[in-house]
Structure 1
Amino acid sequence: FIFRMREFEQMEMQFFVRPGEEMMWWNRWKETRMAWHRALGFGDDKYRFHDHEKLAHYANAATDVEFAFPFGFKEVEGIHSRTDFDLGNHQKFSGRKIQYFDSETGESYVPYVVETSIGVDRMFLQVMSAAYCEEPLEGGDTRVVLRLPAALAPVKAAVLPLVKKDGMPEVARKIVDELKYDYNVVYDEKDSVGKRYRRQDAVGTPFCITVDGQTLEDGTVTVRHRDTMLQERVAIDRLHAMVDEECSFRKLFRKLDL
């Protein structure tokens, strides 16, 4: 359905360049945009370029970033060198000069445009189809897990008291209060802790923070990691830094240091 909608959402950028340098910048934006897609962590082999052989009349280069959906490779983003078609036509039909004076060259010119255009709906479908997983477990059980990049996960952490007594809910509420101003976190005390883990796996929550008996003794909690299901003891005063490091967009941006 998303690939057949009459109306769709796109995010576009037009990058102005000197005439004659557009191919250098087109290749630079190809590299940068592919790095962004791969930074999401779904596997480099899931992406490929499809360079256009037949170009639009205004373009001198065009490529698509394609992703391997369950139904095959499909376009999620286009990167185009549009020459001076856009601003040149604005200038022509408005009757007003739209030129840039380049102090380095001493020349005035109509800038050329390199455009990137990414489909928002298609990116949503890409992330959901890549993240959704039905994973077999020991004993014959299966868990549904949404392996969303932590920066994109709607809920960053779930705070769970092991039982609804002995002061554990009160400590869990305090942890929620410490995190909620910077991150979307949830409190959950219903059902067994195992069922709560499964609920958070299914919505893609990267961390489950469990308050247990040891918490009341030494101020540490059990942190369960969504993808590996590994658990570790973490001091309460380290939780904010841990969530920040894993869930911040900084972690994605560092991968773009080309």
Structure 2
Amino acid sequence: MSNIKPEDFFKNVISHSKEYGFIFQSSEIYDGLSAVYDYGQLGTELKKNIRDYWWKAMVQLNENIVGIDASIFMHPTTWKASGHVDAFNDPLIDNKDSKKRYRADVLIEEHIAKIEDKIKKEVEKAAKRFENFDEAVFISTNARVKEYQEKIDFINTRFKTALNDNNLEEVKQIIVDLEIVDPISGSRNWTDVRQFNLMFSTSMGSVSEDANTIYLRPETAQGIFVNYLNVQKTGRMKIPFGIAQTGKAFRNEIVARQFIFRMREFEQMEMQFFVRPGTEMEWYEHWKQTRLNWHLSLGLGKEKYRFHDHLKLAHYANAAADIEYEFPFGFKELEGIHSRTDFDLKQHEQFSGKKLQYFDPELNQSYVPYVVETSVGLDRLFLSILASALKEETLENGETRTVLSIPAALAPYKAAIFPLVKKDGLPELAESIMKDLKFDFNIAYDEKDTVGKRYRRQDAYGTPYCITVDHQSLEDKTVTVRHRDTMLQDRIKIDALPAFLEERVGIKSLLKTL
């Protein structure tokens, strides 16, 4: 689908997700709930397979990393200690004419993106005019491009300074000076910028009073930090060691968009790695590369990923970087790697009055460990795989087929079994094969329509292999196995199918690439 515009391709991804049972709008019969989505029958399987691959790579393959499952509800003081009560805010601005609310930082980022598009167009025009075109030299020497880049740098510096100083008046002034208009009304009639806390609150107990206010967790990391000493002691863990967790988190995003990229209810896969103070940067670099290698093992294309090192650090970090992925709407954060220092554990020590120190027998002393975090959004990872996999191909006969080239080990169905016709004992043999395989693999069974239509249906599901049982199968106990990506076919013994599939679609096939 390389010939269509990114925004049109993204619409195809969303449409395909619904049509084939991957993702539905939540509460759709009631006109939906904004930025909340339900995973359908195929989406649930794909999401589970991604989660399992992360867990096995993170926990099962690392002897010094274990997993926990902390509660969504936590003591409210947890979020006071972590800084979320006072500092977990987005700068918001309203347009007085459209009555719409926007994140001020998003408006500025979108303005910068438009300037970056101008640079891209200048590069594309120059590339067509000159042979042996050197993009880096052109960008550094072309007067117009340099002017665009200087403008971007100026805006970024001014904006980051304003955020660091919490100068909301300056943030609004930047929007005014850039002459940013409301995309709906087209006006520049903006309110002042103000901060909005992103945590969802609710009440625990029968009386709705401030004392009973608790929060839906905005991240899973704090559940790890408050349990760090429990895990260390009961598991007899020695520094360095990690604690992993997957689970739901909730953020009251005012501007939630781009399908499942930014939602109000989402799933995180996080690992907190506890290290000796002074060694954190070594481990930070280790986990940056380790996590990038994990993403590359999916085979979506090395050019689709890049690191973005943070210039403005969170209050808890001394180093931070994002692994960004090129979604249909541009490079965006997929996973964060942060050196969190000892901030979290010391905050919880202070607010709880409990010691959270580790006794290091090698040093014969106690200290609060430093922490290196890896945090990836499962929903964003799901979207990156889905968007990368969706293709429309023109066949030799002029027909087109839609195919999801999902990594085979992650595909919802590992194989589909077809009886060629619904008679002559073929359905019975096909069902017998399915019953033998389904203990180890998620198998689809399909006997409706022609085999060609069944192939197309399974291509759209992302099923790596289609197994057809025909009359020859009754004679020599062989079947035809058709490969999704190449459409080539092999003749394979029925009793060889388990080993054939295990080698190609088992999660071990991905783990071995790490």
**TM-score interval w.r.t. the shorter chain?**
over 0.9
Displaced runs of 4 or more, over 2 A: 1-9
Q: 2:395 aligns with which of 104, 118, 137?
A: 137
Q: Which residue of 2 is the match for residue 14 of structure 1?
A: 272
2:307 matches 1:49: yes
Q: 1:125 aligns with which of 361, 375, 383?
A: 383
Q: What is the letter of the counterpart of residue 301 of structure 2? A: G
2:313 matches 1:70: no
Note the C-alpha offset of 1:66. Answer: 0.6
Counting matched residue pairs gives 256
2:295 matches 1:37: yes
Distance 1:127 1:180 in 2: 25
Q: Deviations over 1:43-92 (max 9, x none)?
A: 11111111111212221110001111111111111000000001111112
Q: Which of structures 1 and 2 has the bigger CA Rg? A: 2
Question: How do residues 167-206 of structure 1 correspond to structure 2 at under 5 angstroms?
Answer: 167-206=425-464
2:501 matches 1:240: no
Distance 2:411 2:262 in 1: 27
Q: Secondary structure of the equivalent of 1:16? A: strand
Greater relative CO (CA pairs within 8 A, separation 6+): 1
TM-score, scaled relative to structure 2: 0.49
Q: Deviations over 1:134-162 (max 9, x none)?
A: 11111211100011111211111110111
Distance 1:174 1:195 in 2: 23
The answer (yes or no) to whether the contact 2:261–2:383 under 8 Å persists in 1 is no
Q: What is the letter of the counterpart of residue 255 of structure 1? A: T
2:433 matches 1:160: no
Q: 1:213–1:7: structure 2 CA closer, same or farther, 3 Å change rule?
A: closer
Question: How do residues 79-90 of structure 1 correspond to structure 2 at under 5 angstroms?
Answer: 79-90=337-348
Q: Which residue of 1 is the match for residue 475 of structure 2?
A: 217
TM-score, scaled relative to structure 1: 0.96
Q: Secondary structure of the equivalent of 2:349? A: helix
Q: Secondary structure of the equivalent of 2:409? A: coil
Q: Deviations over 1:162-191 (max 9, x none)?
A: 112222111111101111112111211111
Q: Secondary structure of the equivalent of 1:138? A: coil
Q: Which residue of 2 is the match for residue 112 of structure 1?
A: 370
Q: Secondary structure of the equivalent of 2:412? A: coil
Q: Deviations over 1:93-118 (max 9, x none)?
A: 22221111111222211000101111
Q: Which residue of 2 is the match for residue 147 of structure 1?
A: 405
Q: 1:187–1:3: structure 2 CA closer, same or farther, 3 Å change rule?
A: closer
Distance 2:506 2:321 in 1: 30
Distance 1:22 1:58 in 2: 13
* Sequence identity (%): 68
Unaligned runs of 5+ in 2: 1-256
Q: Secondary structure of the equivalent of 1:151? A: helix
Q: Secondary structure of the equivalent of 1:5? A: coil
Q: Secondary structure of the equivalent of 2:397? A: helix
Q: Secondary structure of the equivalent of 1:41? A: coil
Q: Secondary structure of the equivalent of 1:163? A: coil
Q: Secondary structure of the equivalent of 2:282? A: helix
Distance 1:230 1:82 in 2: 50
Q: Secondary structure of the equivalent of 2:270? A: strand
Q: Deviations over 1:20-58 (max 9, x none)?
A: 110111111111111111111111111111111121222
Q: Which has the higher helix share?
A: 2
Note the C-alpha offset of 1:4. Answer: 4.1
Q: What is the letter of the counterpart of residue 438 of structure 2? A: K
Q: 2:316 aligns with which of 51, 58, 76?
A: 58
Distance 1:106 1:164 in 2: 74
Distance 1:141 1:123 in 2: 31
Q: 1:180–1:3: structure 2 CA closer, same or farther, 3 Å change rule?
A: closer
RMSD: 1.2
Unaligned runs of 5+ in 1: none
The answer (yes or no) to whether the contact 1:14–1:113 under 8 Å persists in 2 is yes
Q: What is the letter of the counterpart of residue 180 of structure 1? A: K
Of residues 79-88 and 96-105 in structure 1, the stretch that sits farther from structure 2 once superposed is 96-105
The answer (yes or no) to whether the contact 1:160–1:189 under 8 Å persists in 2 is yes
The answer (yes or no) to whether the contact 1:35–1:255 under 8 Å persists in 2 is no
Note the C-alpha offset of 1:7. Answer: 3.7
